[in-house]
Structure 1
């Protein structure tokens, strides 16, 4: 509330041009504005869960019931550490809902939509169990919170089953009738597809490559091992590191006749190592025992 504006709106018209009277009337409202309203606004900003960070968010957590931040193993550090601000916000929202919800089916569904900021449904198993169903992928951190930290409010004695993700459209026509062959869900529990791909190309004496993956997978600072197989069947290895975009390159200096593959190990959001290997690049192509063209150059014919 703007106390000054409130007072000015109530001054009689004949006193509108009396500056000393107006200044006198605004004395107390000005003090109230500075010492009450502005301080309340600061407190409100401090306790804004969506915008609070660091220690301010810890204060919100203590009010909701968390004496300190929970500790867990989360990507990308994959080491035991306190949860990030983003995940802690969701845990605080969950705690608030648990403290105030009567945990009906509608309440639980509303809580999930609010806590996880996504569309969700609740399946009542009719056997004292319920199962969350999501229609889009959640980040791995949120999936782990749902699976391991009892994030979803639930009635006493009711078990929360593993979540399911329905991103397919299994009924109806689609390209090449593919929708009729689509599975109904991706499987129970935490789901994530890395879609790792490692590619190599050779041009103008330069070997370059790229490591690509699904959103959420860190492809920077990944060790790449290049394995060259020379014409005498001996092997030479070279190690590179990807840049911020997952790119890497090196000048070729192992001769003209060789094949090369690239290999890497990538830490996934599940905190598991996944191996990825490129296709083999051949610098000389043989046909009936004879070299037909040098693979270092583009050939059409």
Structure 2
């Protein structure tokens, strides 16, 4: 079972033939695990822009009810980007959420947040990320029998810009694929995924780099903070990607097509009536 926000949902790994138009590392991990055991089931409740409190209210109760064998839990990235967030209260709530998940008896994977080389406009949020990472590592030590630490922060490969989508905050397809490989290795699971090294890095001049930064601020950063000021998010109208247990071995795209078919048929019937 995968819980969290855009990181878990798969934003940046775009795939229109799957729920919410993304694939992501969690789908990739689920597919590989199902190859070893076709009866292995998968749930992914991650939705972009979700804050910790929303994940606690909407997703954790499902985990407590279903009691899965493995839970991945990534939450907090959106909270860290809130100016007025009380980090002490936030980290206490995060620790309680982890405690609740551990109580299920599942193996719980916790993730540190990557220390992205960000533009100076976002630099003040880096210290919050460091504090969050310290909390995650402490919790992993507190529950050594249940919690598995995915110390994403230490993986140097993500310092390469080619692992990131155009918004510079979400992994792209290469980043999600590499994440899936590392998680499968941490779980000790066999897999058939491969990561292909990049070619040479594109070299750009000062003015071209400056133009790209200005465009990035205009296209991504300003709209993001504008939405926060208005109290809206990109995930407000989105459902969880896989809210009910599925068998990845039966084909995830095929199951998504079947899931959409009834609504499409109903729409056709309504059109015929009108």
Using the size of structure 1 for normalisation, the TM-score is: 0.21
Which is helix-richer, 1 or 2? 2
* Higher strand proportion: 1
Query: Radius of gyration: which is bigger?
Result: 1
TM-score (norm 2): 0.22
Using CA pairs below 8 Å that are at least 6 residues apart, which structure has the higher relative contact order? 2
